[in-house]
């Protein structure tokens, strides 16, 4: 996925009927479907069944089975409710008749009301920072095999610029702040903006949660996989412009890790919140 045009093509599903869609896969290095892809495609399928004046405000997804990159994905949308202010959809993604992912999404009309938020923790301007790829290659604290994996899974349509390099933010207690945006500007409608954001934010959250444990405390490898993913969209934003992604991992237990993320625009406004739980199983 070298640019946003390739990402737009990936998320543009083939419509079979009013509530059924077919999608293709990005050929990942690790031979499984990238979680951000099926998440964003499921949201795209739901968006196709919503009228133009309704916008996604929250989604909750569960990863059921690892997706096969060689098999097209079928998305079936269920219309759970069309109300005066809110719409609810459920999307199930299938491969060979088996569900691999399920998404619930809620849509709302624009409404005015109370307004408050926590401001962005950003401390640097993105223009002054190095790319995550450059910093990753220079990192000394991350083993070569993990570097190779992280570089291979990069969503190349976006560029990422961390405020602190990997060696200084390797501790799980750290907050990892990273700026990101599309590499080349693309005209997107509001719900497409949310699809692109859903694709991007799955990139670093799970790995950030467990990376300090890969080699520090355990000699055995750690198996990771996304289990569930939730997002709330608070305000309008533009993925063509710099956004700040602030991530933390407040807990690891029961072979599961939890990551939380907050996305801010350049003005410091909170535009979205992300929570993800993933598998963090020690293999012996």
Reply yes or no on whether 48 is catalytic.
Answer: no
Torsion sign (Cα): 276, 23, 193, 51:
negative
Q: Which of 169, 226, 246, 249 is catalytic?
A: 226
Q: What is the pTM of this model?
A: 0.92
What is the per-residue pLDDT across 91-102, written as a single tens digit (0 to 9) for each? 999 999 999 999
Q: What's the confidence (pLDDT) of residue 43?
A: 98
Residue 149, pLDDT > 80, answer no
Q: Which of 4, 246, 249, 276 is catalytic?
A: 276
The residue-averaged pLDDT of 60-66 equals: 97
Q: Give the residue with greater pLDDT, 138 vs 198.
A: 198
Residue 249 pLDDT grade (very low, low, confident, very high; cuts 50, 70, 90): confident
| Percent of the chain residues past pLDDT 90, beyond the cut | 62
What is the per-residue pLDDT across 203-212, written as a single tens digit (0 to 9) for each? 778 777 777 6
The residue-averaged pLDDT of 240-260 equals: 92
DSSP reduced 3-state for 52: coil
Reply yes or no on whether 37 is catalytic.
Answer: no
Q: Which of 204, 246, 249, 265 is catalytic?
A: 204
The residue-averaged pLDDT of 114-135 equals: 90
Reply yes or no on whether 276 is catalytic.
Answer: yes
What's the length of the chain? Answer: 284
Domains and CATH numbers, the chain: 4-110+123-282 (2.40.160.210)
The residue-averaged pLDDT of 242-271 equals: 93
Strands (E), the chain: 14-17, 20-23, 55-63, 73-82, 86-95, 98-108, 158-162, 176-182, 222-233, 243-253, 256-264, 270-282
Q: What pairs with residue 51 in β-bridges?
A: none
């Amino acid at each position: 996925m070298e640019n946003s045009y390739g990402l737009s093509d990936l998320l543009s599903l083939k419509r079979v009927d009013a509530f059924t869609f077919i999608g293709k896969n990005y050929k990942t290095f690790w031979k499984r479907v990238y979680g951000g892809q099926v998440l964003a495609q499921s949201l795209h399928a739901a968006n196709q069944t919503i009228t133009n004046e309704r916008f996604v405000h929250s989604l909750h997804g569960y990863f059921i089975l690892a997706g096969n990159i060689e098999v097209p994905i079928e998305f079936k949308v269920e219309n759970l409710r069309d109300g005066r202010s809110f719409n609810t959809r459920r999307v199930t993604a299938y491969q060979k008749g088996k569900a691999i992912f399920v998404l619930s999404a809620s849509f709302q009309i624009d409404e005015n009301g109370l307004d408050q938020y926590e401001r962005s923790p950003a401390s640097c301007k993105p223009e002054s920072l190095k790319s995550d790829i450059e910093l990753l290659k220079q990192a000394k604290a991350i083993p070569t095999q993990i570097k190779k994996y992280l570089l291979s899974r990069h969503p190349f349509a976006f560029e990422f610029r961390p405020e602190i390099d990997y060696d200084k933010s390797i501790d799980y207690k750290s907050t990892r702040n990273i700026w990101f945006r599309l590499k080349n500007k693309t005209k997107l409608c509001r719900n497409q903006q949310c699809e692109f954001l859903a694709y991007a934010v799955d990139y670093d959250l799970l790995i950030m949660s467990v990376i300090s444990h890969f080699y520090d405390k355990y000699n055995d490898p750690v198996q990771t996989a996304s289990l569930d993913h939730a997002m709330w969209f608070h305000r309008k934003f533009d993925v063509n412009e710099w956004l700040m992604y602030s991530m933390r991992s407040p807990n690891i237990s029961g072979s599961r890790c939890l990551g939380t993320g907050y996305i801010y625009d350049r003005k410091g406004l909170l535009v979205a919140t992300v929570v993800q739980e993933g598998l963090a199983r020690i293999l012996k």
